[in-house]
Amino acid sequence: SLLQFFSSTLCGIASDRYGRKSVLLLSMIGISLSYALWCVSFNLTIFMLARVVSGLSKANVAIILAIVSDTTTEKERNRAMAWIGAAFSLGFIFGPLLGAFCSQLAIIYWPASSVSFFILPACVSLVLSLINIGFISKFCPETLPISKRNETKTSITDVYNAIFPWRLFKFSTIHNIKSKHDVTILRRLGIASFLYMIVFAGLEFTITFLVYNRFNWNSMQQGKMFFVMGLCMAVVQGGYVRRIPDGKEITAAMTVSYL
Reduced to 3 states (helix: H, G, I; strand: E, B; else coil), residue 90 is helix
> Please, which pLDDT band fits residue 162 given cuts at 50, 70 and 90?
low
What confidence score (pLDDT) does residue 155 get?
58
CA atoms of 83 and 74, how far apart (whole Å): 15
Tell whether the model's pLDDT for residue 128 goes beyond 90: yes
Kindly report the average pLDDT of the chain as a whole number: 82
Reduced to 3 states (helix: H, G, I; strand: E, B; else coil), residue 163 is helix
Report which listed range, 34-38, 83-87, 143-147, 203-207, is most confident: 34-38
59, 27 in Cβ contact below 8 A? Answer: yes
- Burial state string for 159-190 with b = 16 or more CB within 10 A and e = fewer than 16: eebbbeeeebeebbbeeeeeeeeeeeeeeeee
Q: What is the pLDDT of residues 27-73, one digit of tens each?
A: 999 999 999 999 998 888 999 999 999 989 988 888 998 898 888 88
Q: Give, as one character, the DSSP assignment of residue 240.
A: I
Tell whether the model's pLDDT for residue 125 goes beyond 90: yes
Query: What are the phi and psi torsion angles at 246 (to 5°)?
Result: -60, 135
What confidence score (pLDDT) does residue 152 get?
63
Tell whether the model's pLDDT for residue 243 goes beyond 90: no
Tell whether the model's pLDDT for residue 18 goes beyond 80: yes
- What mean pLDDT do residues 168-183 have? 69
Tell whether the model's pLDDT for residue 17 goes beyond 90: no
Maximum Cα–Cα distance for the chain, whole Å?
Answer: 65
Q: What is the pTM of this model?
A: 0.76
What confidence score (pLDDT) does residue 180 get?
76
63, 12 in Cβ contact below 8 A? Answer: yes
Q: What is the pLDDT of residues 101-122, one digit of tens each?
A: 888 888 888 776 777 778 889 9
H/E element holding 198? Answer: helix 180-215
Tell whether the model's pLDDT for residue 133 goes beyond 80: yes
CA atoms of 113 and 42, how far apart (whole Å): 11
250, 185 in Cβ contact below 8 A? Answer: no
- What mean pLDDT do residues 211-225 have? 87
Tell whether the model's pLDDT for residue 134 goes beyond 90: yes
CA atoms of 231 and 100, how far apart (whole Å): 17
- Residue at 259: amino acid letter: L
Tell whether the model's pLDDT for residue 173 goes beyond 80: no
What confidence score (pLDDT) does residue 32 get?
96
CA atoms of 172 and 169, how far apart (whole Å): 8
- What mean pLDDT do residues 150-169 have? 65
Q: What is the pLDDT of residues 63-92, one digit of tens each?
A: 998 898 888 887 788 778 878 887 887 887
